[in-house]
Amino acid sequence: MSGTGSAEKVLIVDDELINRKVLEGLLKSYGVDCVSAESGPAALALLDDTIDLVLLDIMMPGMDGFLVTKAIREIPKFADLPIIMVTALSAKEDRLRAVEAGANDFVAKPIDSTELRVRMTSLLRMKGYHDEIKGYQQHLEQIVTEKTKALRGALVELEEARLATVRAHMETIRKLSSAAEYKDEDTASHILRMSRYCAVIAEHSGRSAEEVDLILYSSPMHDIGKMGIPDAILLKPGKLDDEEWKVMRMHTIMGADILGDSTSKYLEMGAVIAATHHEKWNGSGYPRGLAGEDIPLFGRICAVADVFDALTTRRPYKEALTNDQAIEIMTKGRGTHFDPALFDVFISKFPLIEAIQQEYRD
C-alpha cells in the first residue's frame, strides 16, 4: 500500500461473508495483509500486537460495532489502534456515537475503493509514527532502566565501600582507645562502659542522634594521652606526689596533641574530650582551669561518666566503691565539679547506667 510500508495488517470485522470477501479482495489489491472475523467476540479473540488497523462494520447482531470499539479501547495497549467504521448509517447522532465509542474514521456503504485506500493510508501512516515514538520511548525506558540498574549497583558498591571504611575507621579508633588502657588489666572495660554512659547522658539531655553517635565513638579516646605517662607513675599503687601528679595531668594535653589536626570528626572530638574531661564546673580543674559552659559540652558529659566509672572500678591505688558510695561522693560535686544539669540527667537515667555497668563488667 503506497506510503504505508509492507507489514501492515488489518482486522476485518463483518457478520456477512460476502462483505468480508469484498474487503479482503480490496486490501490484498492494496498490498495489505488481513484477517477476518464474523462477530465482535471473534474479532476480540483475534486482536493482538500484529494488528495495525480495524475495519469494523457497525450493524452486527449481538455485539455491534459500537460495543466492539468500546471493548477495544478498554484494552490499554490498543487505546491508539486505528479503527475505521464501515456503516450504512448517515445520521449525525450515529456518527457522534461512533466517535464517542472511539472510532477514528468512517467509510460509507457502498464502499468506494479510492476513499477506503486514502483513509487507511492516512491512519496507517499515523499508526506508523505512533509506533516509532513508542519504540523510541521503550528504547529510552530500557536505557534508563539499564542505567538506573547500573547506578544502583554502583551506589551499592559505593555504600559497601563506605561502610567498610567506616568499620575500619571505628576499629582503628577502638584499637587506639584500647592502647591507653592496655597496661592496666583492671580497666580493660572502662572505655566501653564510660563511652556508653556518655551516650546515655547525651541522648537524654536533648542531643541529636548524630551527636550521640559522635560522643559514643569519640569518648573512648579520652585517656589516649596516658600512653605518654611513665609506668612508674601510671601504675603506682599509692598516692602520687606533687611532681608525679603534674606529670599525670599532662595526659590531657598529650591526648589532645595525639588526636588533634585530624580530618576525622571522631578524632577531632576525641581531642576536645581528651583536653577537657578533667575540667571542673567551678574552674578548679585542669589543664586550663575552664569553668561553666566555657568547658565544651562533651568534655562536661565525659567528666560525669569518667568519674563514676573511676570510683566504681578497682585501680592499682584503690578498691572499687559501691554505686551508692560513688553517687554520694559525686552529689557533693554537683555544681562544683559537674555541670548540674548533666549530673541530674545522669541520676535520672541511673537504671540505664547500671544496666551498662552490668553488661560490661571487667
CATH of 182-359 among 1.10.4000.10, 3.10.20.30, 3.40.50.300, 1.10.3210.10: 1.10.3210.10
Burial class (CB in 10 A: 0-12, 13-18, 19+), 283: middle
Average pLDDT, the chain: 88
Q: Domain limits of the chain?
A: 9-132, 182-359
Query: What superfamily does domain 9-132 belong to in CATH?
Result: Response regulator (3.40.50.2300)
C-alpha 203/C-alpha 327 separation (Å) is 21
CA nearest neighbour of 4 among 156, 131, 102: 131
The helix, strand and coil proportions of the chain, stated in percent and rounded to the nearest 5, come to 65, 10, 30
The band of 287, judged by pLDDT with boundaries at 50, 70 and 90, is very high
**Tens digits of residue pLDDT in 310-353:** 999 887 677 899 999 999 999 999 999 999 999 999 999 999 99
Q: How far is CA 204 from CA 67, 218, 334, in A?
A: 69, 18, 18
**Tens digits of residue pLDDT in 180-239:** 666 555 455 888 899 999 999 999 999 999 999 999 999 988 988 988 888 888 888 888
**Tens digits of residue pLDDT in 29-39:** 988 999 999 99
The band of 137, judged by pLDDT with boundaries at 50, 70 and 90, is confident
CA nearest neighbour of 165 among 260, 261, 264: 264
In the chain, what percentage of residues exceed pLDDT 70? 92
Q: Is the pLDDT of residue 176 over 80?
A: no
Q: How far is CA 64 from CA 34, 59, 86, 87, in A?
A: 21, 6, 12, 11
Cβ contacts of 117-122, under 8 Å, gap ≥ 24: 117/1, 117/26, 117/30, 119/84, 120/1, 120/4, 120/10, 120/30, 120/32, 120/53, 120/55, 120/84, 121/1, 121/2, 121/3, 121/4
**Tens digits of residue pLDDT in 56-108:** 998 899 999 999 999 999 999 898 899 999 887 666 777 788 888 889 998 88
Walk across the sheet containing 83-87 and list its strands.
33-37, 9-13, 53-57, 83-87, 105-108
